[in-house]
Amino acid sequence: MPDKARFCPEAPGAESSGQKISNLLRDPLSSTVYGKTPPWYRPTHSYFEPLSRRKTQIAAAVAGALACSFAIADGTVSGSIRAGVEYDGNDWRVVDNDSRLRFQASSGIANGQSVYMNYEFRVDSAQGSIVTGDNEHLSFIGIKGDWGSLSLGAQWSTTFNTVGTFIDKSFRYGGAALECVQYRMTNAVMLSTQLDLLTLMADAQMNANGDSLDRATVGGLVSAGRISFAAMYQSADDNCLGVAGAITLGALELAGGFIGRERGSEGWDVNGSIQNLWVDLSSSDNGGDAIVVSYTMKFRSGSELVLEGSETPIRTRAGAFLRYDF
């Protein structure tokens, strides 16, 4: 890492990063850069030596400038690449499973409060491209403190953070029973707080045109030792209620949930996991019946191999996927 005192403006006696880079981009004989005509300069001397030297110093100056930005806020770059070979009942193909690149940062503001942000970009590892358009990945900003957090933007929904996490633990094929549950929501404001063992959250989703409230949801999650329980209620064009829970019995974890809409459609799910194996049974008026089996082999440094398959009345799917989180 470059010497911070040489580049960061906040360091005593430091030259600004912009000035340093600008100076290094000037003529190689500039006295501003070297203080005097360089001793290596001769009419017969190769110009590649000073050019190489300037490139090294320019790179150091740029690195110093980047170091300054992260001296102001705690920032990280992370992500996940997920690709595999899948059989969809008819053909084999190489597929991506929601790979993403993520930028996060936070900074203290006052009285123990901090501001935080998250940018997440969808990447198609099978095609080698950034996915554009409305793909509903995470992009939000918020304020947090001892009281909880308040965030704005595209983010995980209250329905999934409470009930959904007990129902869909799959890598690719689960979630048939989720009915009204959204994984992520857009154009939303979300509030969450912690009260001892109880986590409470609520969100409001605005219409993209700005003329109405699209959905409003409240939910809670209680976790006490081996037992967890969650519930949520969503007010929308078709109101929705969900409950879910889990219990751990040694190496075995059992979970499940029920979701019902005001207009009559329902979904239920029961699943269990032991070590690296997960088995799920679900049924839904909208999603149909489904069986999902998943086996995960975990390696070092956040990588894993996932073998997963699903069976429904209309099709069979299976695949082997590599995942690496960084």
Average of pLDDT values for 158-169?
98
Q: What pLDDT score was predicted for residue 57?
A: 55
Residues 303 and 324 sit within 8 Å (Cβ to Cβ): yes
Residue that wins the pLDDT comparison between 73 and 26: 73
Q: What pLDDT score was predicted for residue 71?
A: 43
235: which residues sit within 8 A by CB, 6+ positions away? 215, 216, 217
Question: DSSP states of 133-192 as a string?
Answer: SS----EEEEEEETTEEEEEEEEE-HHIIIIIHHH---SSS--TT-TT--SEEEEEEEEE
Q: What pLDDT score was predicted for residue 63?
A: 52
Could you give the 3-state DSSP secondary structure of residue 74? strand
Does the pLDDT value for residue 133 go beyond 80? no
Residue 74: pLDDT band by 50, 70, 90 thresholds? Answer: confident
Average of pLDDT values for 160-165?
98
- 313: phi then psi, degrees, rounded to nearest 5: -60, -20
In sign, the C-alpha dihedral spanning 121, 125, 127, 129 is: positive
Residue at token pair 């940062």: 105
**How do the domains of the chain map onto residue ranges?**
4-69, 73-325
Residue 14: pLDDT band by 50, 70, 90 thresholds? Answer: very low
Q: What pLDDT score was predicted for residue 39?
A: 39
Average of pLDDT values for 172-182?
95
Residue pLDDT, tens place only, 85-109: 999 989 999 999 999 999 999 999 9
Percent of the chain surpassing pLDDT 70:
77
Residue 207: pLDDT band by 50, 70, 90 thresholds? Answer: confident
Q: What is the rounded CA–CA span in Å between residue 80 and residue 123?
A: 9
Q: What pLDDT score was predicted for residue 49?
A: 44
70: which residues sit within 8 A by CB, 6+ positions away? none
Residue 28: pLDDT band by 50, 70, 90 thresholds? Answer: very low
Residue pLDDT, tens place only, 252-311: 999 999 999 999 999 999 999 999 999 999 999 988 999 999 999 999 888 999 999 999
Average pLDDT, the chain: 84
Q: What is the pTM of this model?
A: 0.76
Residue pLDDT, tens place only, 77-86: 999 999 999 9
Does the pLDDT value for residue 211 go beyond 80? no
Does the pLDDT value for residue 159 go beyond 80? yes
- Domain spanning 73-325: CATH superfamily: Porin (2.40.160.10)
Q: What pLDDT score was predicted for residue 212?
A: 77
